[in-house]
């Protein structure tokens, strides 16, 4: 590649945000270089396990002892990686970081990033979320409100295909949805009983998920969800949204995208004369060759913590503590959603009932606390939601030594009783002393400083967790479920895989890193549109919000380039 060529734009990262930046910039006519630190993954062609069956793997798909050592951090999430998708998660021995306090950093370094393995739950923020910091004098005030982002939510939902149910809730705005997936019989009855027995606004709905459910949808190159629930292996049908099946092919179709995998961006180059960025410095992941690429505008979409790391490493005489870091806010206010707690229960009856397919979605219980005086909690601020599912128990108790012959064959064809389980997701406040820095001593194999995490849950989160367990137990008992068991597993920040913050959005460079258009305040041709820009965390999955802000920022950048004005 010609390092002297000046691109209109450089996009760093190809995940949820990077794919959208690439699509919007190229469709606006910008010659765009997209850089990804991991290897190439082409839609369908590079999904090696997409059609495998469970019996294709030893140990029921669990990792071998050797692999568990390689993925010792990634395995903290328990549901991933498995033998069928480990290639989409990083080898922790090759990609270390420092944990001053425990931080579960789950990563996927390849073209498409974690858009190949994400949970696909897609919820809008409301003004309750955007206004909370200001009302409670916590962190910094968001310089935008829901009305600023609503049209971009519309654009993203219609393009990626989100199925769900409109509810008319102030805390969970309605959207542009395809037909909702169906609740099963137990979940439907749980919905009815909850509506009857609680008068504080709590309800059950199907999850809003980025799966195409309309067979008549005309979304180029993608088909409907097949209910295989093999999503984390890559979907050959394009039934769920990923960069690989959707935004990157759209960018490629314009003829304006150049994609370079195996390109580790470690610094944004700053020109003190023009007071703008001129490009990025790159290390080739395979050859270790150092390269520089030039552009008129830079989009950092490397994933929240990686983008913060790039900004911290982008030091100059003007910015000795990292690009745009006049406020010392860079690396501060790291957040996630705290989870790994909830309840399980057994459900009597319904033995003549079953369900069809493997629905890659569950039910959702939107936030119902701290919304008004009636739902106010004195012990903590903000709120939480629940995700869960009801299902027939498996057939495992009928195998091996538990039976043989005709009796075993007959028994194994009959599913067990019903069960239900729910997990809570709680909001994490933006504390300034929850931060990530560059290690002064530890480096990776490319000679770059490792990130050092000093992040923890605090009193507000721990108080909320008590209520998360208490309220779901109350709901299960009200529904008449049996053997209701609250649970809480060992957890730390990062395990929700919704890490965010570190380059927060705000009104002023004195307190924040980026402005309302996601531009670095003091270097306006640099945009940060992954989770790093988040100034608070809400309690809903954040990826839809990243995409909406990215689309908005990319169109702002395209207009700025055409007019020559980045203000």
Task: Indicate the DSSP class of residue 121.
Answer: B
pTM metric for this prediction = 0.96
Query: Pairing state of beta strands 290-300 and 418-426?
Result: unpaired
Q: Let me know if 82 is exposed, middle or buried by CB neighbors in 10 A (0-12, 13-18, 19+).
A: buried
Q: Let me know if 166 is exposed, middle or buried by CB neighbors in 10 A (0-12, 13-18, 19+).
A: middle
Contact 132, 138 (CB under 8 A): yes
Residue 223 lies in a domain: yes
Residue 401 pLDDT > 60, yes or no?
no
Contact 399, 412 (CB under 8 A): yes
Contact 449, 438 (CB under 8 A): yes
Cα 340 to chain center, whole Å?
16
Residue 411 pLDDT > 80, yes or no?
no
pLDDT classification of 488: cutoffs 50, 70, 90: very high
Q: What's residue 2's pLDDT?
A: 83
At 283, which helix (H) or strand (E)?
A: strand 276-284
Whole-number Å distance between alpha carbons of 335 and 497 = 10
pLDDT in tens, 187-216: 999 999 999 999 999 999 999 999 999 999
Please give the tally of structural domains in the chain. 1
Q: What's residue 416's pLDDT?
A: 84
3 state DSSP class of 159: helix
**Which residue blocks in 28-126 are alpha helix, DSSP H?**
65-70
Tokens standing for residue 38: 């991991």
Which backbone phi and psi does 387 adopt, to 5 degrees? -125, 140
Q: What is the DSSP string of 206-238?
A: E--BSB---TT---TT-----S---GGG--TT-
CB proximity list for 427: less than 8 A, separation 6 or greater: 337, 382, 383, 384, 464, 536, 537, 538, 539
Sign of the alpha-carbon torsion through 105, 426, 146, 139: negative
- Name the nearest CA neighbour of 230 among 55, 110, 359: 359
- Name the nearest CA neighbour of 337 among 222, 235, 455, 168: 455
Residue 65 lies in a domain: yes
pLDDT classification of 393: cutoffs 50, 70, 90: confident
Q: Which domain holds residue 38?
A: 1-163+208-326+499-567
Whole-number Å distance between alpha carbons of 302 and 294 = 17
Mean pLDDT of 391-412: 67
Mean pLDDT of 435-453: 97
High-pLDDT (> 70) share of the chain, %: 98
Mean pLDDT of 101-130: 97
pLDDT classification of 564: cutoffs 50, 70, 90: confident
Residue 8 lies in a domain: yes
Tokens standing for residue 428: 């994490």
Q: What's residue 400's pLDDT?
A: 54
Tokens standing for residue 110: 């390849």
Mean pLDDT of 260-282: 97
Q: What's residue 476's pLDDT?
A: 98
pLDDT classification of 397: cutoffs 50, 70, 90: low
Residue 410 pLDDT > 80, yes or no?
no
pLDDT in tens, 62-111: 999 999 999 999 998 878 899 999 999 999 999 999 999 999 999 999 99
pLDDT classification of 552: cutoffs 50, 70, 90: very high
Contact 3, 293 (CB under 8 A): yes
pLDDT classification of 406: cutoffs 50, 70, 90: confident
Q: What's residue 413's pLDDT?
A: 74
3 state DSSP class of 449: strand
Whole-number Å distance between alpha carbons of 261 and 111 = 7
Residue 523 lies in a domain: yes
Tokens standing for residue 322: 């990292």
522: left (phi over 0), alpha (psi -120 to 50) or beta: alpha
At 525, which helix (H) or strand (E)?
A: strand 523-528
- Which of 68-82, 116-130, 287-301, 333-347 is predicted with the least confidence, judged by mean pLDDT? 68-82
Q: What's residue 170's pLDDT?
A: 97
Residue 399 pLDDT > 90, yes or no?
no
Whole-number Å distance between alpha carbons of 276 and 468 = 47
Tokens standing for residue 359: 């629905």
Whole-number Å distance between alpha carbons of 530 and 518 = 10
CB proximity list for 304: less than 8 A, separation 6 or greater: 499, 500, 501, 502, 530, 531, 532, 534
Averaged pLDDT of the chain:
95
Whole-number Å distance between alpha carbons of 487 and 423 = 9
Residue 196 lies in a domain: no
Residue 368 lies in a domain: no
- Tokens 């009597």, residue? 348
Q: What's residue 403's pLDDT?
A: 57
Residue 475 pLDDT > 80, yes or no?
yes
pLDDT in tens, 135-171: 999 999 999 999 999 999 999 999 999 999 999 999 9
High-pLDDT (> 90) share of the chain, %: 89
**Cis, bond preceding 284 (omega within 30 deg of 0):** no
Residue 95 lies in a domain: yes
- Name the nearest CA neighbour of 535 among 495, 502, 508: 502
Q: In what order do the strands lie in the sheet with 384-392?
A: 205-206, 363-365, 384-392, 418-426, 341-347, 482-488
pLDDT classification of 1: cutoffs 50, 70, 90: confident
The CATH number of whichever domain residue 77 belongs to comes to 3.50.50.60
Residue 395 pLDDT > 70, yes or no?
no
Tokens standing for residue 486: 């609250």
Q: What's residue 218's pLDDT?
A: 84
Residue 77 lies in a domain: yes
Which backbone phi and psi does 73 adopt, to 5 degrees? -85, -50
């Amino acid at each position: 590649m010609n390092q002297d060529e000046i691109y209109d734009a450089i996009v760093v990262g190809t995940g949820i945000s990077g794919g959208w930046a690439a699509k919007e910039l190229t469709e606006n006519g910008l010659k765009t270089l997209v850089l990804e630190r991991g290897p190439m993954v082409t839609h369908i062609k590079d999904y090696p396990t997409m059609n495998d069956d469970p019996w294709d793997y030893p140990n029921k798909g669990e990792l071998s002892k050797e692999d568990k050592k390689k993925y010792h951090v990634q395995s903290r999430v328990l549901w991933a990686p498995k033998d069928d998708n480990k290639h989409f998660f990083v080898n922790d021995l090759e990609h270390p970081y420092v944990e001053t306090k425990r931080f579960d950093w789950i990563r996927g370094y390849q073209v498409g990033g974690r858009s190949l393995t994400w949970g696909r739950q897609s919820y809008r923020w409301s003004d309750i979320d955007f206004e909370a910091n200001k009302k409670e004098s916590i962190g910094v005030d968001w310089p935008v409100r829901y009305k600023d982002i609503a049209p971009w939510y519309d654009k993203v939902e219609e393009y990626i295909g989100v199925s769900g149910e409109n509810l008319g809730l102030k805390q969970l705005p309605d959207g542009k949805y395809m037909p909702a997936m169906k609740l099963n019989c137990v979940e439907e009855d749980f919905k009815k009983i909850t509506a009857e027995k609680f008068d504080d606004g709590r309800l059950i709905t199907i999850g809003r998920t980025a799966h195409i459910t309309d067979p008549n949808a005309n979304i180029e190159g993608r088909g409907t969800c097949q209910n295989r629930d093999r999503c984390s292996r890559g979907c050959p049908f394009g039934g769920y949204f990923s960069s690989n099946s959707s935004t990157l092919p759209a960018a490629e179709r314009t003829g304006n995208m150049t994609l370079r995998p195996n390109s580790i961006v470690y610094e944004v180059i700053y020109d003190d004369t023009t007071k703008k960025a001129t490009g990025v410095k790159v290390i080739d992941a395979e050859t270790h060759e150092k390269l520089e690429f030039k552009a008129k505008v830079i989009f950092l979409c490397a994933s929240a913590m990686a983008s913060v790391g790039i900004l911290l490493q982008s030091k100059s005489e003007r910015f000795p503590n990292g690009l745009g870091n006049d406020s010392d806010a860079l690396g501060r206010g790291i957040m996630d959603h705290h989870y790994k707690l909830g309840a399980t229960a057994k459900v009597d009856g319904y033995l003549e009932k079953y369900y069809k397919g493997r629905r890659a979605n569950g039910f959702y219980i939107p936030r119902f606390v701290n919304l008004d005086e009636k739902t106010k909690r004195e012990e903590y601020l903000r709120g939480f939601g629940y995700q869960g599912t009801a299902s027939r128990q498996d057939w495992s108790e009928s195998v091996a030594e538990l039976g043989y012959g005709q009796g075993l064959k007959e028994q194994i064809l009959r599913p067990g009783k019903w069960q239900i389980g729910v997990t809570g997701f709680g909001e994490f406040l933006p504390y300034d002393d929850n931060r990530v820095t560059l290690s002064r001593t530890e480096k990776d194999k490319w000679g770059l400083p490792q990130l050092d995490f000093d992040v923890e849950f605090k009193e507000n989160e721990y108080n909320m967790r008590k209520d998360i367990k208490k309220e779901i137990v109350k709901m299960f008992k009200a529904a008449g479920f049996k053997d209701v068991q609250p649970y809480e597993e060992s957890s730390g920040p990062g395990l929700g895989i919704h890490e965010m913050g570190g380059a927060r959005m705000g009104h002023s460079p004195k307190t924040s890193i980026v402005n309302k258009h996601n531009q670095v305040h003091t270097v306006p041709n640099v945009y940060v549109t992954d989770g790093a820009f988040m100034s608070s965390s809400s309690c809903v999955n954040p990826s839809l919000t990243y995409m909406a802000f990215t689309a908005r920022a990319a169109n702002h950048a395209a207009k700025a380039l055409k007019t020559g004005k980045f203000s």
